[in-house]
Amino acid sequence: MIKKLMLLLLLGALAFGEIYVNGVPIDSTQSRYLIVEIDDDLRKTRAYVDYGQSDPDRHRIMTDDTGSKMLFNSPVAVLNYFYRQGWELDEAYVMPGGGESSFYGDKYFILQRKP
Is 52 within the bounds of a domain?
yes
Burial of 50 (0-12, 13-18, 19+ CB in 10 A): middle
**Cβ atoms of residues 35 and 52 within 8 Å:** no
DSSP for 63-105, written as a single string: E-TTSPBP-BSSHHHHHHHHHHTTEEEEEEEEEE-SSTT-S-E
- Give 74-83 pLDDT, tens digit per residue: 999 999 999 9
Is 8 within the bounds of a domain?
no
Is 30 within the bounds of a domain?
yes
What range defines the domain where residue 35 resides?
A: 19-113
Is 3 within the bounds of a domain?
no
Calculate what percentage of the chain has a pLDDT beyond 90: 45
Flag whether pLDDT at 44 surpasses 50.
yes
Q: How confident is the model at residue 15 (pLDDT cuts 50, 70, 90)?
A: very low
The whole-chain average pLDDT of the chain stands at: 80
Q: How many CB atoms lie within 10 A of CB 97?
A: 10
